[in-house]
Amino acid sequence: MFEGFSYLGLGILHFLTWEGLFNLAWASLLGIVIGALPGLTATMGVALLVTLTYKMPPDQAMLSLMALYVGAIYGGSRSAILLSIPGTPASAATALDGFPLARAGKAGMAMGIATTSSALGTLVGIFFLALIAPWLAEFALRFGSYEFFWLALFGVLISGRMTAVENPLKGFIAGLLGLLVAMIGMEGLHAYQRFTFGISALGGGVDIIPAMVGAFGFAEILGVMKARMAGTPVTSSDRVLPRISDLSRYWRTTIRSGVIGTIVGIIPGVGEDIGAWASYAAARRKSKEADQFGKGSIEGLVAAETGNSAVIPGAMIPTLTLALPGSAAAAVLIAAMFIHGIRPGPMLMTENPAFLYQVVGMLLLSTIAITIYGLSLTKPLMQILQVPRERLMPIVYVLCVVGSFAITQRMFDVYVMIAFGLIGFVLREMRYPMAPLVLGIILGELLDVNLRRGLLLSNGDPTPFFTRPISAVLFAITLLTILMSMPMVNRRVSGLFKRLDPQSRAG
Give me the mean pLDDT over the 239-258 stretch: 79
Give the side-chain half-sphere CA count within 13 A for 492: 6
pTM, to two decimals: 0.78
More confident residue, 218 or 406: 218
| Those residues with Cβ within 8 angstroms of residue 380's Cβ, 6 or more apart along the chain or in another chain | none
Report pLDDT for 431: 85
Q: Bridge-partner residues for 194, per DSSP?
A: 185
The DSSP output letter for 185 is E
Q: Measured between alpha carbons, how far apart are the two ends of the chain, in Å?
A: 52
Residue 89 falls inside a structural domain: yes
**Cβ atoms within 10 Å of 343's Cβ, excluding its own:** 13
Domain membership of residue 430 (yes or no) is yes
* Cα–Cα dist 339/477, whole Å: 33
pLDDT surpasses 50 at 279: yes
Q: Which of 283, 284, 393, 378 is nearest to 81 (CA)?
A: 378
Least confident of 68-77, 135-144, 385-394: 385-394
Identify whether 504 is part of a domain. no
193 DSSP β-pair partners: 186
Helix axes 219-226, 411-429, angle to 10 degrees: 50
The closest alpha carbon to 110, from 125, 121, 119, 100, belongs to 100
CB 99 within 8 A of CB 83: yes
Per-residue pLDDT for 267 more than 60?
yes
**String of DSSP letters for 88-110:** SGGGHHHHHHHHHHHHTT-HHHH
Residue 69 CA to residue 12 CA, distance in Å, equals 18
Is residue 498, in this structure, part of any structural domain at all?
Answer: no
Q: How confident is the model at residue 385 (pLDDT cuts 50, 70, 90)?
A: low
Q: What is the mean pLDDT of residues 246-265?
A: 86
Q: Read off the pLDDT of residues 143-169 as tens digits, 9 standing for 90 and up.
A: 788 888 888 888 788 777 766 667 888
CA-based torsion, 499, 501, 504, 506: positive or negative = positive
Q: 275-288: buried (b, 16+ CB within 10 Å) or exposed (e) per residue?
A: bbbbbbebbbeebe
> 85 lies in which domain range?
2-485
Q: Is residue 28, in this structure, part of any structural domain at all?
A: yes
What's 186's DSSP letter? E
Torsion angles phi and psi, residue 444, rounded to 5 = -60, -45
Does residue 370 lie in a domain region? yes
Number of domains the chain is built from: 1
- Of the candidates 128, 149, 129, 62, the residue with the CA atom closest to the CA atom of residue 446: 149
Residues forming beta bridges with residue 186, ordered by sequence position:
193
Amino acid at 134: P
249 located within any domain: yes
pLDDT in tens, 122-135: 999 999 888 888 88
> Can you state the angle between helices 353-376 and 58-83, rounded to 10 degrees?
30
Do 46 and 69 meet the contact criterion of CB atoms below 8 Å apart?
A: yes
Please tell me the distance from the alpha carbon of residue 391 to that of residue 173, in angstroms, as a whole number. 34
**Given a cut of 70, is residue 289 above it in pLDDT?**
yes
User: For 93-115, what is the mean pLDDT?
Assistant: 83
Task: Classify residue 497: in a domain, yes or no.
Answer: no
pLDDT on residue 238: 55
* Of residues 209, 436, 439, the one with CA closest to residue 324: 439
Residue from 94, 37, 84, 27 nearest 304 by CA: 94
Which residue from 238, 28, 235, 233 is spatially nearest to 112, judged by alpha carbons?
238
Query: Cβ atoms within 10 A of the Cβ of 398, count?
Result: 10
Q: Which of 45-54, 109-118, 229-238, 374-383 has the lowest mean pLDDT?
A: 229-238
